[in-house]
Chain A
Amino acid sequence: MTGHTPSANEKAIFTRTKGLTDTAFTYCAGCMHGIVHRLVAESLEELDVLGKTIGIAPVGCSVTATNFFNCDMLQASHGRAAAAATGVKRVNPDNIVFSYQGDGDLAAIGTAESVHAAARGEHITVIFINNAIYGMTGGQMAPTTMPGQITQTSPYGRIIAQDGYPLRVVEMLATLDGVAYAERVTVDTPKNIRTAKRAIRKAFEYQRDKVGYTIIEVLCTCPTNWGLNPLESADWMRENMFPYYPLGVYRDVKAEGYANIVDAAAALLEEQTAAEAERQAAEAAKEAAKVAAKGGGE
């Protein structure tokens, strides 16, 4: 990738992003981690924030991301990326801090840390790789594994009566006041890659502008542990994961007309307070009418 300097009659129309190091990815062939890495790196480069970014790579296939992102990197324990990110960000609030987490990491062992970082409205960006499996450990059932999906620990397919339902993470987090932006994207086609890029870049812009907590869920394949080739994997993802995990924006406080999570939360509370006052008034009126009706009978 490196080393070619365009000659006088050549023009560079595509270059490697400065957001990535020259180290070759160690991900499996056809794995989507690499695409997402590139989108994150490009966004950081375009926003010119690489020099103040700290990335957090917890345990999962992307624990080696510390080698790939061309910015300061912290490796965290399994599931704790959001807590570690909180520590980093609170010490230096002007830094850009992102965590890059798998579904096992974020939605099983790290659920508490993830939910509470979002609830606190930590000014961090979470890149959430949902590949419906524990990739690094060899393909066990994840909290996001699809009903019926065969994995090392669901040899008969995920049995809902036994294993419960898959977690819809961005839907769940979007209910929290601390969340400024939550979107689910994927990277299976050029068009979807462009959408994903826009989302990731916007999340970092929101963080930079202190709008609130941001999370981008990326539906990804794990050809190795799904036992499919890369193209079959993409088909499987579209067929099985897209219906359960619909792509789209689940929260965007700015699109809703607010400057940040504080304004959005205040507006929601005002709305709820008014609705509650109305409900109580209606109840009181109903009660009064009942009393009046009884009084009239005497």
Chain B
Amino acid sequence: MTQPQREAKRLMKGNEAVAEAAIRAGCRTYFGYPITPQNELAAYMSKRMPQVDGVFVQAESETGAINMVYGAAAAGARVLTSSSSPGVALKAEGISYLAAADLPSVIINIQRGGPGLGTIQPSQGDYFMSTKAPGHGDFKCLVYAPSTVQEMADMVGDAFEKADEYLMPAIILSDGLLGQMMEPVALPPIKDPADCPQHDWALTGTRGKRAPQEVNSLRLYPEQLEATNNERYAMYDRIKAKEQQAEMYRTDDADIIVVAYGASARTAKSAVDLARDAGVRAGMVRPLLVWPFPDDALDSLITGGTAKGFLTVEMSMGQMVEDVQLLVNGRLPIDSFNRTGGLVPEPKAIAERIEKLYKQTAEGGN
């Protein structure tokens, strides 16, 4: 990845920074539907898109919006939609069709607490929905997990590029905390939409220059569908090998490894420092993408590393912890620290759990 040229920092809300960054990444097509806590994003797009000759449509529903995304992506556009948890659930149908038709697009989820109408407060309760079942059938989405406003701005460009490279939908799994908070952000450089990848499969009309083509998710014959699924999963394996990304914080000599992503990683990081101050060698692995999950980074801390136990920190009842369990596979103890309802894990409380887990592992070792 080339290091983007940075502009002077400005103070922006996450929801607005990610919207402006999408436009700077060459996106000129946006479809949305109001829902808190992502409203600033759509509002920003409604103001900016006309200024850059772009398309903004407030759809009749999230189902409508994602199917507009489907049409725009099929026509070859770099296209974005955003919503929050209940709305993203409604988009599931369309996301599945996007994956099935090999169409690139970016979906931003400014998560709020569920189930049901739940709360407009931040949450990480859509980890399963994003990484395991973003819709019906066998498929995956790239899932980015920003933890600062700066990362929201940076990752949306990455997401567009990778979605175009692999021809699949990408999700920015953010939350109400990051969407609503203001932080200094250096916006990425401006990309001319003409420099975005042009796809020869795009439905733009034959112009009498080529045979008609179709974008289709229908695979009526069993062998045909299985072959497509196998091909797609072979690509997913390549993505798993190439696209895992994680921040490693003080992990070199760490006994206890905290695993946290997004907003909860912010306080988890402070907790690592607090635990260190209290004499426990703690570190943190922060997935930058939660699909593909950074299995290799975690594994390296077990085989050839110093890890004696893992503590996951999530603003959910514990969803990512299952991916850690799969990877650790019984080799080391795992504890999970969970807050929901919009409550953010506190550094001190996390640090106490780190210390407790450390004591357990030390006793276990005796």
Binding site for B on A (CB under 8 A): 21, 50-54, 56, 63, 66, 69-77, 80, 83-92, 95-96, 112-113, 115-116, 120
- Selected contact of B72 from candidates A80, A87, A96, CB within 8 Å: A87
A68 to chain B: closest CB distance in Å? 11
B72 to chain A: closest CB distance in Å? 4
Q: Report B45-99 residues with CB < 8 Å from chain A CB.
A: 55, 57, 59-61, 63-65, 67-77, 79, 93-94, 97
B85-115 vs A: 1/0 string, CB under 8 Å?
A: 0000000011001000100000000000000
Q: Report B15-64 residues with CB < 8 Å from chain A CB.
A: 29, 31, 55, 57, 59-61, 63-64
B212 partner residues in chain A, CB cutoff 8 A: 21, 69-73
A48 to chain B: closest CB distance in Å? 10
Binding-face segment, B116-124, B198-206, B327-335, B344-352? B198-206
**Alpha-carbon distance between A116 and B216 when the two chains are bound, in angstroms:** 24
**Alpha-carbon distance between A116 and B214 when the two chains are bound, in angstroms:** 26
- Judging by beta carbons under 8 Å apart, are A77 and B67 in contact? yes
In the complex, whether B301 has a CB less than 8 A from a CB of chain A is no
B191-224 vs A: 1/0 string, CB under 8 Å?
A: 0000000000001111111001111111000000
A71 partner residues in chain B, CB cutoff 8 A: 205-206, 212
B93 partner residues in chain A, CB cutoff 8 A: 77, 80
B154 to chain A: closest CB distance in Å? 26
A27 to chain B: closest CB distance in Å? 15
Interface residue total, chain B, C-beta cutoff 8 A: 40
The CB with the most chain B CB atoms within 10 A, among A53, A84, A113, is that of A84
A88 with B72: in contact, given A77-B94, A77-B97, A80-B64 (CB under 8 Å)? yes
A56 partner residues in chain B, CB cutoff 8 A: 71
**Alpha-carbon distance between A91 and B206 when the two chains are bound, in angstroms:** 16
B93 to chain A: closest CB distance in Å? 6
- Selected contact of B55 from candidates A69, A85, A91, CB within 8 Å: A91
B216 partner residues in chain A, CB cutoff 8 A: 66, 73-75
B97 partner residues in chain A, CB cutoff 8 A: 76-77
**Alpha-carbon distance between A190 and B72 when the two chains are bound, in angstroms:** 38
- Selected contact of A88 from candidates B203, B217, B218, CB within 8 Å: B203
Sample of 18 further A-B pairs with CB below 8 A, known A51-B207, A72-B206, A83-B71: A54-B205, A69-B212, A71-B205, A71-B206, A72-B214, A73-B214, A75-B217, A76-B71, A77-B97, A80-B64, A80-B93, A83-B63, A83-B64, A87-B79, A91-B71, A96-B205, A112-B61, A116-B64
